[in-house]
Structure 1
Amino acid sequence: MMDGAGLGLRRALLDDLSQADAATGAAASSGPDFLEAAPENWMEVGGALGRRFRALSERYPLRAHGLALSIGGPQPLDIDWLKRVRAFLDAHDIDDYSDHLSFCSDDGQLYELLPLPFTAEAVEHVAARVAIVQDVLERTIALENISAYARLPGELSEAQFINAVLDRANCDLMLDINNVYVNAMNHGEDAIALLDALPAGRIRGLHIAGHQLQADGLRIDTHGEAVIAPVWKLLTQAYARYGVLPTVLERDFNLPPWAELMAELQAVREHQARASNEPPHV
């Protein structure tokens, strides 16, 4: 497992990453410890862009976080596409692959991460599909909890659903702290109770990001704002429960100046350093 504070790789960051490498070296503490890339954005990309990605893969440890797996979707999995993902992972020595506990396609891509019903039937559906994915990729995958703006009818709570999927599918969890907070605020739920209910041994890493607060009080997971204080606090509470885990700062747009983004990444490290001096909460 990778350690430290990572950064979600976006094409808009390529110049800043290249300039930072040239100035300080990739191993400098001021830059990311690793990068997280979406295979859909980089696999089979050639030319100058492909060469730049290859250069980054030679400087930084990489992990992959997908966008299009649609693990809960109704249509059969695209095995040819999965084989292409595996080729990408193999080519760049990436062992760590995750995607979202959601569905995003039916008869074509929907371009949205849509929630699943928290039911036993959905657990079995997801578990069967995870088995196929893990067989093709020859890797244990991780699934991320999503921000959901509606709760579908179901007999399970979110924590019960996640735990059942992890147990039945024998896969891991990529825990998004911002999503935990957004859901808790939007649905009047208890974020700490969710953290307490999740199995520490299954959590592969953490994501942290900013979100948008709308005029009507709805919070939207945009990855386009700075991380707010209550989410930082929730990250500290996650470290207290699970121990310090590799954590990715995600920023998709409204990118701040590089120095400001690196200051936010350094804040992740500072939270990790403080938490490492305290034993995990049981």
Structure 2
Amino acid sequence: MLKTVGLGLRREFLDDVLTQAPNVGFWELAPENWFPRGNQAYRTLDRIREQAPLTSHGLSLSIGSPDPLDVDFIKQVKTFLDRFDIRIYSEHLSYCSAAGQLYDLLPIPFTQDAVNHVVQRVKQVQDIIERPLVLENVSYYASFGNELTELEFINAVLAQADCKLLLDVNNVFVNSVNHRYDPYDFIAGLPSERIVYGHIAGHTEEYDDLFVDTHGADVKQEVWDLLDFAYAKHGIFPTVLERDFNIPPLSQLLTEMNKITTHQQQTVGARDPRLQTNTA
């Protein structure tokens, strides 16, 4: 079981992690960024997991692709997860290959045929990795040929594949602006029992009606507010701070990561009358 607050592990501050042993509940990493790098990289990860457990968030599974699943790749992931005692393998509910690598995370059409396609592939992955597959709701900027809403599509995949959810709160907020829906209704409609952990990150506001999930800025207040709602609705779930661009010093990231702890504690206080301040 994950501790409540984690941070995405990035090479930009890897040396600081090794020398400072910061107080992080767990580290999240992409397996495919590590297993091609050999024994030296593995020794580094062994040192890091002495500080805090590891969890994994992949980039290359391409669960919605029309191409056959890359079984050899999935077996490599399984070997990596076993080697580092990583119980959670999360990925994106999207695709990044179609007759070749596309180098982007593209949205799957929200159709029943797509649900059936993804469900069959999720079951195959779970059989290989011998763990539940945890799928993240993704940000997307175009939508076509849809028969279902985004929420209906996600819930259908989770239920029919019997897999789990990584709730990315920033992605919900970004999509709600770009596709004009209520993010609170969306989060309220997700199944609490499927949520394993969550993500929070910053985004870029290109226009009033176009936000981009860049992971390159501080978390906006509207996203913190939505995270509070998600905790109140679904209970406190472990949450990772993601930062992939414009990466500040580790100390600054830790300060922002610790805000997650504050929001979790505030949510617990609001739900437990014994922890509330009497202002009457």
Q: What TM-score do the two structures reach when normalised by structure 1?
A: 0.93
Cα shift at 1:175: 0.6
Which residue number corresponds to residue 37 of structure 1?
29
Output the CA distance in 2 between the equivalents of 1:231 and 1:215.
17
Asked whether the equivalents of residues 83 and 136 of structure 1 are also in contact (C-alpha less than 8 Å), the reply is: yes
Within the candidate set 105, 111, 122, 1:119 is matched to: 111
Output the CA distance in 2 between the equivalents of 1:45 and 1:73.
26
* 1:134 alignment partner AA: Q
Give matches, 1:241-252, under 5 Å: 241-252=233-244
Output the CA distance in 1 between the equivalents of 2:66 and 2:58.
18
Asked whether the equivalents of residues 243 and 279 of structure 1 are also in contact (C-alpha less than 8 Å), the reply is: no
Cα shift at 1:216: 6.1
Structure 1 spans left out of the alignment, 5+ residues? none
Say which is worse superposed, 44-53 or 157-166, in terms of deviation.
44-53
Say which is worse superposed, 49-58 or 11-20, in terms of deviation.
49-58
Output the CA distance in 2 between the equivalents of 1:145 and 1:4.
20
Number of equivalent positions: 272
Within the candidate set 48, 57, 60, 1:56 is matched to: 48
Asked whether the equivalents of residues 44 and 88 of structure 1 are also in contact (C-alpha less than 8 Å), the reply is: no
Does 2:8 match 1:8?
yes
Structure 2 spans left out of the alignment, 5+ residues? 273-280
* 1:255 alignment partner AA: I
Asked whether the equivalents of residues 155 and 191 of structure 2 are also in contact (C-alpha less than 8 Å), the reply is: yes
Runs of 4+ in 1 over 4 A off after TM superposition: none
- The C-alpha deviation readout for 1:207-231, integer Å capped at 9, x for no partner, is 0000111146421111111001000
SS at match of 2:199: strand
Q: What is the aligned-residue RMSD (CA, Å)?
A: 1.4
Does 2:9 match 1:20?
no
Which residue number corresponds to residue 102 of structure 1?
94
Give matches, 1:238-277, under 5 Å: 238-277=230-269
Output the CA distance in 2 between the equivalents of 1:96 and 1:47.
22
* 1:12 alignment partner AA: E
Which residue number corresponds to residue 278 of structure 2?
none
Output the CA distance in 2 between the equivalents of 1:3 and 1:274.
17
Output the CA distance in 2 between the equivalents of 1:169 and 1:195.
20
Output the CA distance in 2 between the equivalents of 1:243 and 1:154.
31
SS at match of 1:214: strand
Cα shift at 1:47: 4.8
Which residue number corresponds to residue 194 of structure 1?
186
Asked whether the equivalents of residues 16 and 258 of structure 1 are also in contact (C-alpha less than 8 Å), the reply is: yes
Within the candidate set 171, 180, 193, 2:172 is matched to: 180
SS at match of 1:277: helix
Asked whether the equivalents of residues 210 and 225 of structure 1 are also in contact (C-alpha less than 8 Å), the reply is: yes
Output the CA distance in 2 between the equivalents of 1:161 and 1:215.
27
Within the candidate set 201, 213, 216, 1:209 is matched to: 201
Specify whether residues 114 and 94 from structure 1 end up closer, same or farther in structure 2 by C-alpha distance, changes over 3 A only.
same
Cα shift at 1:3: 2.1
SS at match of 2:37: coil
Asked whether the equivalents of residues 13 and 249 of structure 2 are also in contact (C-alpha less than 8 Å), the reply is: no
Q: What TM-score do the two structures reach when normalised by structure 2?
A: 0.94
